Structure 1
């Protein structure tokens, strides 16, 4: 794998890492916004139903953010080590 491809994969992993963090830390506002949209589209609901929907949306964003965060972190670590090993192999051949 070429050096440019590994660097681009590290950048993609870092972007996934950042997106996952944003989703995790903003899950309450994203979930509230989604639950309010659901409430408007359904013409209203009682408080207990709204709370269940709200918790569901918040949990969805937490889980999705955690998965994206984990994939990004694993990608950055894996491709960084690959990049460092490639550098060591090149320097040992010279």
Structure 2
């Protein structure tokens, strides 16, 4: 039973790490998309403000991706370690 639970935790950790990895490397694309949406809602804005909005959205995705990647990687490594040291 414990092995099945650990396999689920390993899967969860791997999925979190993969999602975080995708967010990290796609943060620019997601940031620009959201900033374009913001600009369309505003009806126009100064270029410097638009660039700040792009940077803010990009940093948000970079930050969220880094957290998910870190948590997923730590979860994955700890679960693998526990799975390898089960006596049954």
TM-score where L is the length of structure 2: 0.96
| Deviation of 1:3 (Å) | 1.1
Distance (Å, rounded) in 2 between the aligned partners of 1:42 and 1:85 = 57
Distance (Å, rounded) in 2 between the aligned partners of 1:44 and 1:7 = 51
1:55 equivalent in alignment to 2:52: no
Distance (Å, rounded) in 2 between the aligned partners of 1:72 and 1:35 = 28
| Deviation of 1:43 (Å) | 1.6
Unaligned runs of 5+ in 2: none
Aligned-residue Cα RMSD (Å) equals 0.9
Distance (Å, rounded) in 2 between the aligned partners of 1:57 and 1:78 = 32
Runs of 4+ in 1 over 2 A off after TM superposition: none
Unaligned runs of 5+ in 1: none
Single out whichever of 61-70 and 36-45 deviates more from structure 2.
36-45
Q: Deviations over 1:13-59 (max 9, x none)?
A: 00000000000000100000010011111221110100000000111
| Deviation of 1:2 (Å) | 1.4
Q: How does 1:12-23 map to 2 (within 5 A)?
A: 12-23=12-23
TM-score where L is the length of structure 1: 0.90
